[in-house]
Amino acid sequence: MQYVLYEASQNIAIITLSRREALNALNTAMMEELAGVFKKIAKDKNIYAAIITGQGDKSFVAGADISEMKDLDQKRAHKFAAFGSSVFRSIEKLRVPVIAAINGYALGGGLELALACDIRIASEDAIFGLPEVGLGIICGYGGTQRLPRIIGPSRAKKMIYTAERIDARAALAIGLVDEVVKKDELIKRAMSLASVIASRAPIAVACAKEAVGSGIDLGMDDACLVETDIFCRCFATQDQKAVMDAFLKKEKFGKFKNR
């Protein structure tokens, strides 16, 4: 792959976006490679968690490639946005949690990418914003939908309507990110968190992600039914039987087998 670096270690996938000369801006080729990586993770039963970050120390993703968008007509713009939106939606549909390790700029499509992830950790110098209305467009990869769900409609509208940029501490204060760490500790902290997730029962973690994602926009009665249906599936796993048996016997449990 030309624009996406991929490695796997200790049941954790690490995805690095690599267009440093363009501050890791998303172009079509990079999005196609990302789509392929997410399909690869979906098929790999040995991956229990994933981290996505940007190459270098200046930018996570500085946005989508404006040179590719400038001359689009409505038909091509629809295709452009639909593809990008589907790639980011696939993150939410992955069975494994995805952690965004946000280094530097997370603007436009970069913030939209981070919003699609399960957990967001930012370096102290991270900058966030959705500048689209200043360019005569709106978000096309889910930003107007995910941001209000994460920080609330009023705050989201202010960010979207004004195209304002906020720093990492402000992002933490409004719940846009979950943690802020020093720049040189970002990947280490993301790996530490991913390792904790990977140490839990993989099927149970996948079920938990599915339950949250499936129920979050439902009424409480329907959402609890979704949870009940997913809860009972865990009792068909060997891991559930083994760990509960060890717990009752007061024995030290070994490693989950993802079965």
The answer to whether residues 206 and 95 touch, using CB atoms and an 8 Å cutoff, is yes
Are 177 and 168 a contacting pair, CB within 8 Å? yes
User: Does the active-site annotation cover 112?
Assistant: yes
Distance CA 219, CA 208 (A): 18
Catalytic, out of 112, 179, 185, 227 = 112
Beta carbons within 10 angstroms of residue 129's beta carbon: 21
3-class DSSP assignment, residue 55: coil
H helix or E strand, kind and range, residue 196: helix 186-199
Give 16's strand partners. Answer: 5, 53
Active site residue 251: no
CA distances from 115 to 89, 119, 124, 240 (A): 10, 8, 18, 31
How far apart, in whole angstroms, are the C-alpha atoms of residue 38 and residue 34? 6
- Token pair 């999005």: residue: 31
Three-class SS state of 9:
strand
Q: Among the options 7, 21, 92, 132, which is catalytic?
A: 132
Indicate which residues carry an active-site annotation: 112, 132
